[in-house]
Amino acid sequence: MDQSLPPPVPNVAPELPDAIHRLARASVLVIGDAMLDRYVYGSVRRVSPEAPVPILAEERELAMPGGAGNVVRNLTALGAAAAFISVVGDDQAGSDLTGLIGGQPNVEPWLLVEGGRTTTVKTRYIANGQQLLRADREQVAPIAPHLAERVLRIARDAMAATSITVLSDYRKGVLSGGLSAQLIAAAHQAGRRVIVDPKGSDYAIYAGADVITPNRAELAEAAHMPAETEAEIVAAAQALRERHGFGTVLVTRAEDGMSLIDPAEVQHFPAEAAEVFDVSGAGDTVLATLAAGLAVHLPMAIAARLANIAAGIVVGKVGTAVTHEADLLAAISPRGGALRKIVTRQAAAEQMERWRHRGWRTGFTNGCFDLLHPGHVHLLEQARAACDRLVVGLNSDASVRRLKGLARPIQPEAARAAVLASLASVDLVCIFEEDTPEALLTELRPDVLVKGADYAIEEVVGADLVRRWGGRVMLAELVAGHSTTATVERIRG
Show which residues are catalytic: 284
- Which value, in Å, is the radius of gyration of the alpha carbons in the chain? 25
Q: Which residues, including other chains, have CB under 8 Å from residue 407's CB and lie 6 or more apart?
A: none
Kindly give the pairing relationship between strand 389-395 and strand 362-367. Answer: parallel
Could you tell me if 116 and 90 are in contact, meaning their C-beta atoms sit under 8 angstroms apart?
A: yes
Q: What are phi and psi of 160, to 5 degrees?
A: -70, -25
DSSP codes of every residue in 365-380: EEE---S--HHHHHHH
Alpha-carbon distance 430 to 348, whole Å? 7
Q: Which residues, including other chains, have CB under 8 Å from residue 137's CB and lie 6 or more apart?
A: 93, 118, 120, 121, 123
Alpha-carbon distance 106 to 295, whole Å? 15
Surface-to-core class of residue 493, CB atoms within 10 Å of its CB (0-12 exposed, 13-18 middle, 19+ buried): exposed
Q: Which residues, including other chains, have CB under 8 Å from residue 175's CB and lie 6 or more apart?
A: 31, 32, 33, 167, 169, 183
Alpha-carbon distance 229 to 274, whole Å? 22
Could you tell me if 32 and 175 are in contact, meaning their C-beta atoms sit under 8 angstroms apart?
A: yes
3-state secondary structure of 91: coil
Q: What are phi and psi of 190, to 5 degrees?
A: -85, 0
Alpha-carbon distance 115 to 419, whole Å? 59
3-state secondary structure of 24: helix
Quick one: which of 311, 323, 297, 336 has its CA closest to 19? 297
Rounded to 10°, the helix 230-244/216-223 angle is 50
DSSP codes of every residue in 124-172: EEEETTEEEEEEEE----PPPHHHHHHHHHHHHHHHHHSSEEEEE--SS
Alpha-carbon distance 116 to 308, whole Å? 39
CA distances 486 to 255, 399, 481, 490, 491, Å, are 55, 20, 9, 6, 9
Distance of CA 393 to the CA centre of its chain: 22
